[in-house]
Chains A and B, each alone.
Chain A
């Protein structure tokens, strides 16, 4: 079954999602055009991961509807194997924690997992595994166990495990979290690479440094609601918005002369070299 090419990759109408008492997404409506590169911004707990899981057909809204490529994305629709396989092939999610995603005994098995479940021809699978590993420069890791890989290597294997399916939509959950600078650079390069431009890439992050490289449109979340959207430069210029949504926070620093100075401060991974009060 082929899903038609449509203007919108996703259309959400009034989507609400709850975990027991916590409302993670609250009446969310938005449309995501095919081929766009979107950054989903928001502080921890603002609902980014939940959104990606809804888009990947893992969770289903308690209220409201989601359409993917014009087709309703519901639990019933996903029961149908043909639809599910077509959807899984088209939309892929890279989880934030690679340990969650790498559950196979070796890198080879990991990359083979997706195509095997989707019942590809075995000879095609073998060929595609080699190509995919090659393109991510991890062929040498083929027989390694995931628990023997570094954080950066794990991230690349996780990417390989979904890219083998050649998805049209790539959902990335905090791809740069907890990576060393070099691996972080690799991931940014990958996402910034214009040869991936045919794809729709939706990246959840609170790493403001990278959004100009990886996105041409931003959605800013706050408590499960869309607080704003716009181009990366417009969003980055709006200090009030960033502070209100906890993407940056005001820090008071003491200077050598003893005076205090308050300035906005991007919420990202780095060490402070001066004292906090």
Chain B
């Protein structure tokens, strides 16, 4: 993909065309980054995708089930360890996942500190607002949960090629037709992204100066309209191409998976971890360990 585009769009990012272009380029770059890591030789990359999907998704569910901070933070730590062992650059992870989650959820969680009923913990001088222990705990629940689940789910896609994720989904009894649709959707996201990018780049070269709001809205809606028309044409062509190779409505796929002993081991490992975390997460007594109230 064309790297100069993003630099250019950042330089004069002012109009919605530029902003959209930047967004489109970022998405493709991010996908490329993921594909690179999925090819690295790390712990998670070596596992059977089915084990990874089942294991990491169970951990995500465990985090949401957990009723104490200790467990959530432990699973978060586990996620970080898995990331390191799988050669996921922690700096990238921190920037792309942790910081952005912190900004978003952190901003949402701040007022919680003051408005949650509970024991006063701290009174902010000057404005006189009171932080309650329950407020603080609640804010921590939210942010730690979001960070932990975001880390685990990003590990799944970073350490598994998309095609393996798809095949692994079949194991969760997702119907074939749905898995095929997912695969084709992902495929055509890139085609349509590229079409959109070309369209916006062409548009940018034709536009000089600022447009008024009506004109801009006109162009934005028109662009979506063009893309819709092209998508409609694309779907028709794809349909013909599928038919041409014998597609008659039902899809057949090759499932090629081999469970090695290390996959069974990993599965057992995940089972133990998930079991332990579920049990820990139910322990009310642990709440006093980190809770401030």
Contact = CB atoms under 8 A, between A and B. Distances in A.
The answer to A–B direct touch (Cβ < 8 A) is yes
Interface of A: 53, 56, 58, 81, 84-85, 88-89, 92-93, 95, 97, 99-106, 109, 112-114, 116-119, 122, 125-126, 143, 145-148, 161-162, 165
A89 B246 CA distance: 8
Interface stretch (B68-76, B143-151, B181-189): B181-189
Contact of B184 (A56, A103, A118): A103
B163 A145 contact: yes
A101 B244 CA distance: 10
B172 to A, nearest CB: 17
Contacts of A162: 244-245
Nearest to B236: A100
Contacts of B35: 145, 148
Closest 7 pairs (CB-CB, A-B)? A117-B246, A105-B163, A147-B190, A114-B245, A100-B237, A116-B252, A88-B246
A104 B237 contact: no
Contacts of A112: 254
**Residue of B162, B183, B251 ringed by the most chain A CB atoms within 10 A:** B183
B166 A119 contact: no
A148 B39 CA distance: 14
18 contacts: A58-B243, A84-B246, A93-B244, A99-B191, A103-B188, A103-B238, A105-B163, A105-B187, A109-B183, A114-B246, A117-B245, A125-B254, A126-B254, A145-B163, A147-B187, A147-B190, A147-B191, A162-B245
In this complex, the member of A56, A106, A122, A147 whose beta carbon has the largest number of chain B beta carbons within 10 angstroms is A147
Interface string B239-259: 011111111100111100000
Q: How large is the interface on B (under 10, 10 to 19, 20 to 34, 35 or more residues)?
A: 20 to 34
Contacts of B254: 109, 112, 116, 122, 125-126
Contacts of B184: 103-104
B244 A84 contact: no
Contacts of A114: 245-246
Contact of B244 (A56, A126, A146): A56
Contacts of A148: 35
A104 B187 CA distance: 7
A105 B162 contact: yes
Nearest to B31: A147
Given A109-B163, A117-B246, A117-B247, 13 more contacts: A95-B244, A99-B234, A100-B238, A104-B183, A105-B163, A109-B183, A109-B254, A112-B254, A117-B251, A118-B246, A145-B162, A147-B191, A165-B245
Contacts of B6: none
A103 B242 contact: yes
Given A109-B253, A122-B254, A145-B162, A103 B248 contact: no
A125 B253 CA distance: 11
B237 A95 contact: yes
Secondary structure class of chain A's binding surface, majority of residues: helix
Interface in B145-185: 161-163, 166, 183-184
Contacts of B190: 147
Contacts of A106: 163
Contacts of B247: 113, 117
A146 B253 contact: no
B245 A161 contact: yes
A99 B237 CA distance: 10
A277 to B, nearest CB: 25
B254 to A, nearest CB: 5
A125 B256 CA distance: 12
A58 B191 CA distance: 23
Given A95-B237, A125-B254, A143-B161, A103 B187 contact: yes
Residue from B162, B237, B247, B254 with most neighbouring chain A CB atoms (10 Å): B254
Contacts of B243: 58
Contact of A81 (B186, B191, B248, B252): B248
Max chain A C-beta neighbours (<10 A), residue from B162, B184, B240, B241: B241
Nearest to A114: B245
Contacts of A101: 241
B245 A113 contact: yes
A119 B250 CA distance: 11
Contacts of B240: 53, 58, 95, 100
A266 to B, nearest CB: 27
Residue among A113, A118, A146 with the most chain B CB within 10 A?
A113
B168 to A, nearest CB: 12
Contacts of B163: 105-106, 109, 143, 145
